[in-house]
Chains A and B, each alone.
Chain A
Amino acid sequence: MIQNLVSLALVASGLCVGQQLDLSSLDKLAEKAKESSVITLDQDKIAMASGLLDNGNANAKEIVKGLKGVSVRSFEFAEKGAYSMADVEAIRKQLTAPGWSKVFEVKDGNEMVQMWFFSVKDQGAMALITAEPTELTVVHLTGPADLAALGKLARLAGVSNLPKQLTGEGRNKDKGKTQDDEN
């Protein structure tokens, strides 16, 4: 009985931190990159930044509402082979934790794209990995479970037809129509 409770507690605590990803293993790639972005913003920093967003950034302000964390590691290299799939694997392994599910994966030659989503109770997160020959990007957002911000970002980029759980928005059931067409 006690063992079960301990196991349950361990699982529960794991689920609470499961949405978190440690991207620091990628930081070493900045030295090899010709351009890099290493950004980690927690809820406090997002709130600070959001307070400075003016009317010219109204869309950004709307997008970050509810976001609890933003981490980006984006590297552009001069040549191929500057990073290895082992670097990507270090991140991907964390995505096998309970609560994460892969939304889709596309592999084409030496390019790979993966999108993952985390949803447990009221916790949500999104991880996007894009691996190209001379570019590697990992984006990690944490927020509420419906992650409406992701939906806004997706619409921002013209991506429609994301599953409802990702966008937190209704999906038009009519064939061929998207949420965009309705607006």
Chain B
Amino acid sequence: MNSREENLVRSALRRVDPPAGFAERVLARLPAEKSGRKWYAMRGWRLALMPQWAPAAAVLLIAGVVLGSWEAHQIRERKAKAEQAKVELLEALQITSAKIQYTRGRVFRALTAAQNKGGLL
């Protein structure tokens, strides 16, 4: 197999990315985590030592995390839509080129048939 043919095969079988969110879907299938008691396992004396601004800071932090998560979600949504559009576009191009080729074959057959009947110069 010459180098151009090998490059074509390599191109045909190159790695591709899985659909967006693949890793998340894998993680979603994992069994539930065993350790459930985390943040709320703080003892009372630890809570008492927290500074006064801690609750406000916590609210801001949570708001930031939520906003960040929302933005990340939006970004993931957009990327997923773009990935879907890419898949559809490539499929559309493949179908189109295949049908143009089919069309060529049909036109050629029709022309040949007409020529054989003496219908064309």
Could you say which of A39, A48, A57, A115 contacts B92, with CB atoms under 8 Å apart?
A: A39
Given A52-B82, A108-B106, CB of A154 within 8 Å of CB of B89: no
Describe B's contact surface by its main secondary structure: helix
Q: Are B86 and A137 in contact (CB under 8 A)?
A: no
How many of A's residues come within 8 Å of B, CB to CB?
37
Mark B66-107 against chain A: 1 for CB-CB distance below 8 A, else 0. 000000000000000111011011111101111111111011
Q: Are A159 and B103 in contact (CB under 8 A)?
A: yes
CB contacts (< 8 Å) of B104 on chain A: these are 157-159
Ranked nearest first, the 5 interchain pairs of A and B with the lowest CB-CB distance are A157-B101, A49-B85, A49-B89, A49-B86, A157-B100
CB distance from B113 to the nearest CB of A (A): 8
CB distance from B102 to the nearest CB of A (A): 6
Given A37-B91, A106-B107, A157-B101, CB of A141 within 8 Å of CB of B96: yes
A-B pairs with beta carbons under 8 A, tally: 101
CB contacts (< 8 Å) of A37 on chain B: these are 91-92, 95
CB contacts (< 8 Å) of B98 on chain A: these are 157
Q: Are B100 and A60 in contact (CB under 8 A)?
A: no
Which A residues fall within an 8 A CB radius of B? 37, 39, 41, 45-46, 48-53, 56-57, 60, 63-64, 70-72, 74, 104, 106, 108, 111, 113, 115, 128, 130, 137, 139, 141, 153-154, 156-159
- A-B residue pairs in contact (CB < 8 Å), sample of 28: A39-B88, A45-B81, A45-B88, A46-B85, A48-B82, A48-B85, A49-B89, A52-B86, A56-B14, A60-B93, A70-B89, A72-B92, A72-B95, A74-B95, A74-B99, A106-B106, A111-B106, A113-B102, A113-B107, A115-B103, A130-B99, A137-B95, A139-B99, A153-B96, A156-B97, A157-B100, A159-B101, A159-B103
Q: Are B86 and A128 in contact (CB under 8 A)?
A: no
Mark B1-18 against chain A: 1 for CB-CB distance below 8 A, else 0. 000000000010010000
